[in-house]
Homo-oligomer: A and B are copies of this chain.
Amino acid sequence: ASSTQPIRATLFPGDGIGPEIADSVKQVFNAAEVPIEWEEHFVGDKVDPRTESFLTWESLESVRRNRVGLKGPMATPIGKGHRSLNLTLRKELGLYANVRPCYSLPGYRTRYDDVNLVTIRENTEGEYSGLEHQVVRGVVESLKIITRQASLRVAEYAFHYAKTHGRQKVSAIHKANIMRKTDGLFLKCCREVAEKYPEITYEEVIIDNCCMMLVKNPTLFDVLVMPNLYGDIISDLCAGLIGGLGLTPSCNIGEGGIALAEAVHGSAPDIAGKNLANPTALLLSSVAMLRHLELHDKADQIHDAILKTIADGKYRTVDLGGTSSTTDFTKAVCNNL
Interface residues, chain A, CB within 8 Å of chain B? 84, 110-112, 127-128, 132-135, 137-149, 175, 177-182, 184-185, 207-209, 211-216, 229, 232-237, 239-241, 243-245
Do A208 and B233 touch across chains, with their CB atoms under 8 A apart?
yes
Contact of A208 among B209, B236, B244 (CB under 8 A): B236
Please indicate the chain B residues that have their CB under 8 angstroms from the CB of A209 in the complex. Answer: 236
Tell me the smallest distance from the CB of A329 to a CB of chain B, in Å. Answer: 21
Please indicate the chain B residues that have their CB under 8 angstroms from the CB of A84 in the complex. Answer: 177
Which 5 residue pairs of A and B lie closest in terms of their CB atoms, listed nearest first?
A138-B148, A212-B240, A215-B240, A208-B236, A132-B181
Q: Which residue of B lies closest to A183 (CB)?
A: B142
CA distance A128 to B208 in the complex (A): 14
Copies of this chain, whole number: 2
Please indicate the chain B residues that have their CB under 8 angstroms from the CB of A184 in the complex. Answer: 140
Do A212 and B128 touch across chains, with their CB atoms under 8 A apart?
no
Do B185 and A212 touch across chains, with their CB atoms under 8 A apart?
no
Do A212 and B236 touch across chains, with their CB atoms under 8 A apart?
yes
Please indicate the chain B residues that have their CB under 8 angstroms from the CB of A240 in the complex. Answer: 211-216
Contact of A244 among B175, B212, B241 (CB under 8 A): B212
Q: Which residue of B lies closest to A112 (CB)?
A: B111
Tell me the smallest distance from the CB of A18 to a CB of chain B, in Å. Answer: 19
Do A211 and B185 touch across chains, with their CB atoms under 8 A apart?
no
Please indicate the chain B residues that have their CB under 8 angstroms from the CB of A185 in the complex. Answer: 138, 140
CA distance A209 to B215 in the complex (A): 15
Q: Which residue of B lies closest to A146 (CB)?
A: B140
CA distance A110 to B126 in the complex (A): 35
Q: Which residue of B lies closest to A84 (CB)?
A: B177
Known interface pairs A215-B215, A244-B216, A245-B212. Does A139 touch B132 (Cβ–Cβ under 8 Å)? no
Known interface pairs A147-B139, A185-B140, A244-B216. Does A179 touch B211 (Cβ–Cβ under 8 Å)? no
Do A179 and B138 touch across chains, with their CB atoms under 8 A apart?
no
Do B132 and A179 touch across chains, with their CB atoms under 8 A apart?
yes
Tell me the smallest distance from the CB of A105 to a CB of chain B, in Å. Answer: 14
Do B139 and A181 touch across chains, with their CB atoms under 8 A apart?
no
Do A127 and B175 touch across chains, with their CB atoms under 8 A apart?
yes
Contact of A141 among B144, B211, B243, B244 (CB under 8 A): B144
Q: Which residue of B lies closest to A239 (CB)?
A: B212
Please indicate the chain B residues that have their CB under 8 angstroms from the CB of A111 in the complex. Answer: 111-112, 215
Please indicate the chain B residues that have their CB under 8 angstroms from the CB of A144 in the complex. Answer: 127, 141-144
Please indicate the chain B residues that have their CB under 8 angstroms from the CB of A208 in the complex. Answer: 232-233, 235-237
Do B211 and A178 touch across chains, with their CB atoms under 8 A apart?
no
Would you give 11 A-B contacts (Cβ < 8 Å), ordered by A?
Answer: A111-B111, A127-B144, A127-B179, A132-B181, A140-B181, A143-B144, A209-B236, A212-B240, A215-B237, A215-B240, A215-B241
Do B211 and A211 touch across chains, with their CB atoms under 8 A apart?
yes
Tell me the smallest distance from the CB of A238 to a CB of chain B, in Å. Answer: 9
